[in-house]
Amino acid sequence: MFKQILVPLDGSARAEQALPIAARLARVTNGTVSLVQAVWPPSEFMTSVGEIVLPDILDENVQAAKAYLEDVAKTSSLEGIRTARQVVIGHPAQVIIDAANADNIDLVVICSHGYTGQMRWSMGSIAEKVARHAPSPVLILHEDSALVTESKVVPHGSVRILVPLDGSEHAEVALMSAELLAWALSTPARGELHLTRVVSSESNRFHEEVERTKQYLGSVVKRLKHHPPKDADMLFDVPMTWSVTVDGDSASGIIQAAEKSGRKEEESYHVIAMATHGLGGPQLWAMGNTTERVLQAARQPLLIIRR
């Protein structure tokens, strides 16, 4: 259950786009939103002694960050929600990871770009480092996605989540978190889960592979409906569908399935949910390969579950 939700902020409107999503989850689960901001120590290089930290400026920055988080906690999007606030001196990625470890966080909600733009909060930087190392699931948002764009957000509608699988238990780890997210973001409506597996069009046994994939995906849906995970807190009764995606590359196939060329905008998937490892463990779906490439190229937010 997503009851402890961590939202990293940096003082920018971009980073704050994570707040409505975190607030919606907290309202449904009666949870807490923990706000954290990292303050990087300001320094100056002196020829005689090298680089030194400027304590007066550091103290001013810390106090400003504390005041900022207090103001954020009072905003309308967090009205009626329990909040916690923390300002920590250090590198943003490490501060977020440490906060996720220390506070038993159930979910980190972070935007892919923050105050410093693509140089600091970009894919391949803070958001990716957090996804690599945070112990909890990480929901990485894009500022132009339908889930966070104010005019297109789905406050009382069905949120549809695509879950790519590869036939392994490693990849199936994403299913329970994806089902929970679909339920929590859609309540009181019903969310939707769609499972897919990419089959290479270049396979020598293409037709056999497609048939095996159909049987596999159908069996996963049947198993989840009739035999939910033993460690599930509750049953969410989220409708599930499946389809086979044909592509010569796993990442491009997943993106193709997510974008569903030809579907109406309002019927497209809102989130992609993936585990950091799939078939073959770290060698195939590790961050740096399929999951990372989807993270960098997909327009949809990505829910990443570390395996």
pLDDT class of 229 with cuts at 50, 70, 90:
low
The three-state secondary structure class of 168 is coil
Mean pLDDT, the chain, as a whole number?
82
Name all domains of the chain by residue range, CATH numbers in brackets: 4-43+52-141 (3.40.50.620), 160-305 (3.40.50.620)
Q: What is the pLDDT of residues 197-207, one digit of tens each?
A: 999 888 788 99
Q: Is 136:307 a contact under the CB 8 Å cutoff?
A: no
| DSSP string across 9-51 | E-S-HHHHTTHHHHHHHHHHHT-EEEEEEEEPPPEEEETTTEE
pLDDT of 58 reads 74
pLDDT of 107 reads 96
Q: Average pLDDT for residues 264-270, to the nearest whole number? A: 67
CA distances to 44, 88, 93, 167 from 54, rounded to whole Å, are 7, 16, 22, 54
CA distance linking residue 135 with residue 54, whole number of Å = 33
302 pLDDT exceeds 60?
A: yes
Q: Average pLDDT for residues 25-49, to the nearest whole number? A: 79
pLDDT of 95 reads 93
- The residue to which tokens 């909890």 are assigned: 136
31 pLDDT exceeds 90?
A: yes
pTM of the model: 0.86
8 pLDDT exceeds 70?
A: yes
Q: What is the DSSP letter of 278?
A: B
pLDDT class of 292 with cuts at 50, 70, 90:
confident
pLDDT higher at 292 or 69: 69
At residue 254, φ and ψ (nearest 5 deg) are -65, -45
Q: What is the pLDDT of residues 71-130, one digit of tens each?
A: 999 999 899 999 999 999 888 899 999 999 987 899 999 988 644 444 444 444 788 888
pLDDT higher at 203 or 234: 203
Q: Average pLDDT for residues 127-137, to the nearest whole number? A: 88
